Amino acid sequence: MSDELIAALVSDLRPVRPLANPTRRAVRFGAVACGAVGAAVSLAGARQDLAARLRDAAFLGETALLLASFGAATWSALASCVPGAAWRGTRSWLMAALGAWLALIAARYALQPNVTAIGVGLACVRRMLLFGIVPACVLMLMLRRAAPLERGTSGFLACLSAGSLAVLGTRLLCAKEDALHVLFFHFTPLVALAVSGSLLGRRWLR
């Protein structure tokens, strides 16, 4: 039977162009996705206090963590679809970045314990979906073209990447700094998006 299979595979052989390595593809995707979200933020109009926020260490730290999460998740997603590539080490970096962001939110809440107003955050969730949907679809298509052997994990990482960039874009628009608002309408949707990416990946990345 396997002799027949080998004969069938050989007769089905067509020349293929090897995929570029994950780092190169991650850089290309990152540049295009950041450019697109940046343009969308410019069109929508960035928050009024952005100049002041860019001098705030906590805001800059949060931005850096989201960028780190975006970069690490993008690279890991692409590398997870290349058999034999060593990508699992970046998972701890990803968890560290998200954990540090959560710690920053907790610290902000600890510094302002009287602030309990969550605010209306559905606009933030909508923005996140708008900013995240195209990068998520593009990244999923890139993964599908490669070899998604661990479909759930690859889908999770792809949506975490797109979600991190979407949260970053949302943070540039949303002027609400309440810790609970950030937790419920920025952090939680990111986690939900990543989990749904895992479910989607299992079904769609074949």
Residues lying near other proteins in the complex (CB under 8 A) are found at 1-2, 4-19, 21, 81-85, 146-147, 149-150
Measured from the CB atom, is 74 or 153 closer to other proteins? 153
- Within the chain, residue ranges assigned H as helices are 2-11, 22-44, 50-53, 57-80, 90-111, 122-145, 151-173, 179-182, 188-204
| Nearer to other proteins among residue 126 and residue 203 (C-beta) | 203
Q: How far is the CB of 84 from other proteins (least distance, A)?
A: 3
Residues in CB range of 90: below 8 A, 6 or more apart: 72, 75, 76, 79
CB of 148 to other proteins, least distance (A): 9
Nearer to other proteins, 81 or 200 (CB): 81
Taking the complex as a whole, how short is the minimal distance between the CB of residue 8 and other proteins, in angstroms? 4
Interatomic CA distance for residues 132 and 122, integer angstroms = 15
Least distance from C-beta 27 to other proteins, angstroms? 16
> Is the Cβ–Cβ distance between 109 and 180 less than 8 Å?
yes
Q: What CA–CA distance (Å, rounded) separates 161 from 93?
A: 13
Report the alpha-carbon distance of residue 69 to residue 94 in Å, rounded.
6
Tell me the Cα Rg of the chain: 19
176-112-179 Cα angle (round to 5): 40
* Closer by beta carbon to other proteins, 12 or else 57: 12
Shortest CB 15 distance to other proteins, Å: 4
